[in-house]
């Protein structure tokens, strides 16, 4: 309703003209007048067309006899189908697709290699974060740092980073030796900062030698040796030599040679030739090869045989080692003396 307003001036009230009320605007749906007219015309045309079709259908039904109604009746328009129904019907009508061929051995090998590599990374993390920190390891310079990548330059592309050997792995491998450590000289070929050398010093070797070509790593190993407590060393005759491991002459003694995979192929061949010469002279030789990538020369050597791994240390290596281990030896493994049970006759004599 319109409101009446009055204004007071000099104590008198004067009437004011009433404002007419504006009717509410019609809801146009957001369309303009011309668009609305066009839409109405389109709807009317569609309705007219539908009525004409309905009349034509009714006329045809009236003209058709009752007996032929079903055969002559034109097909009615089918209801609209759901989107994607035609695609599903076509897919059902098509013959089943042939089964995919089985993966080739190369693909299966690649997948297995990927799983093996992931498992190796997990085990390396287990040793680096937990097992390597157990026990007393008073290093002046940490031996856990990574070295530079090395390759053999022969195009095989399998050069690996000079990673240190896990501590537990060195001890597990030394527990698998076919002979006692006493009487042997331990030689670490490419010792780095000396981790394997210091772990071997916990075993009663006669002498321990670490050979390293890199001058910086050699100086770090010497610094660790100066600060390593002698109270935890079963063998105190330890020395480091700055030389090329491939051309360094081996001492004429019974040897336990420790090799890790980053050693180059030419170095392995030269080392195998020196070891064969030592075996010809009658010395006992044991080779501990960690991550054996280039073991063909040792396998084909007439002086070495592969040692069978058994016992608790072999089970630990199988479960927790990130690398494979091969042990070659010129010494037959000592068998533990078997305890013979007394016969039934001896038992009766002992009782009487």
Confidence label for 77 from pLDDT (cuts 50, 70 and 90): low
Judged on CB neighbours under 10 Å (0-12, 13-18, 19+), 187 is buried
pLDDT tens profile 144-179: 765 544 444 444 444 444 578 898 999 999 999 988
Q: What integer pLDDT is reported at residue 187 of this predicted model? A: 96
Stretch among 2-16, 78-92, 228-242, 329-343 having the lowest mean pLDDT: 2-16
Measured in whole angstroms, the distance separating CA 165 from the mean position of its chain's CA atoms is 20
Enumerate domains of the chain plus CATH numbers.
165-329 (3.40.50.150)
pLDDT value, residue 257: 95
Task: List residues bridging with 289 in a β-sheet.
Answer: 259, 326
Q: What is the pLDDT of residue 160?
A: 45
How do residues 229-241 score in pLDDT, each as one tens digit?
999 999 999 999 9
Q: Which of 10-24, 288-302, 312-326 has the lowest mean pLDDT?
A: 10-24
The predicted model scores a pTM of 0.60
Give the integer Cα–Cα distance in Å for 51 and 57: 10
Q: For residue 101, what pLDDT is reported?
A: 56
Q: Is the pLDDT of residue 294 over 80?
A: yes
Q: Please determine, for residue 209, whether its predicted confidence score (pLDDT) is greater than 90.
A: yes
pLDDT tens per residue, range 111-131: 445 577 788 888 888 888 888
Is there a contact between 192 and 290 (Cβ–Cβ < 8 Å)?
no
Q: How sure is the predictor about 221, in pLDDT bands with cuts at 50, 70 and 90?
A: very high
> What gap in Å lies between CA 332 and CA 335, rounded to an integer?
9
Q: Which residue has the tokens 């390293």?
A: 212
Q: Give mean pLDDT, residues 301-326.
A: 91
Q: How many CB atoms lie within 10 A of CB 131?
A: 15
Task: Dig out the tokens for 208 from the structure.
Answer: 């321990």
Q: Quickly state the pLDDT bin for 40 (edges 50, 70, 90).
A: confident
**Could you give the 3-state DSSP secondary structure of residue 238?**
strand
With a pLDDT cut of 90, the percent of the chain lying above it is 32
């Amino acid at each position: 309703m319109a409101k009446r307003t009055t204004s007071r001036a000099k104590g008198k009230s004067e009437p004011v003209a009433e404002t007419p009320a504006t009717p509410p605007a019609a809801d146009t749906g957001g369309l303009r007048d011309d668009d609305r007219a066009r839409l109405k015309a389109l709807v009317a045309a569609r309705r007219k067309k539908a009525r004409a079709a309905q009349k034509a259908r009714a006329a045809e039904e009236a003209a058709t006899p009752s007996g032929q109604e079903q055969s002559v009746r034109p097909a009615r328009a089918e209801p609209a189908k759901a989107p994607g129904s035609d695609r599903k019907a076509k897919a059902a009508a098509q013959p089943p697709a042939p089964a995919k061929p089985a993966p080739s051995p190369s693909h299966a090998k690649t997948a297995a290699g990927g799983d093996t590599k992931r498992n190796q990374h997990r085990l390396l993390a287990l040793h680096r974060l937990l097992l390597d920190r157990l026990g007393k390891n008073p290093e002046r310079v940490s031996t856990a740092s990574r070295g530079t990548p090395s390759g053999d330059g022969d195009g095989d592309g399998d050069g690996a980073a000079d990673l240190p050997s896990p501590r537990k792995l060195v001890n597990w491998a030394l527990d698998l030796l076919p002979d006692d450590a006493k009487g042997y000289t331990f030689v670490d070929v490419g010792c780095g900062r000396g981790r394997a050398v210091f772990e071997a010093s916990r075993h009663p070797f006669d002498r321990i030698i670490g050979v390293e070509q890199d001058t910086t790593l050699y100086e770090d190993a010497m610094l660790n040796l100066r600060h390593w407590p002698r109270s935890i060393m079963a063998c105190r005759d330890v020395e480091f030599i700055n030389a090329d491991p491939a051309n360094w002459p081996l001492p004429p003694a019974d040897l336990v040679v420790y090799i890790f995979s980053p050693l180059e192929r030419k170095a392995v061949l030269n080392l195998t030739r020196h070891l064969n010469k030592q075996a010809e002279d009658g010395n006992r030789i044991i080779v501990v090869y960690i991550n054996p990538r280039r073991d063909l020369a040792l396998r084909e050597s007439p002086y070495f045989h592969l040692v069978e791994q058994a016992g608790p240390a072999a089970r630990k290596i199988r479960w927790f080692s990130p690398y494979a281990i091969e042990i070659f030896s010129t010494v037959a493994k000592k068998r533990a003396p078997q305890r013979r049970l007394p016969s039934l006759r001896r038992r009766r004599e002992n009782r009487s």
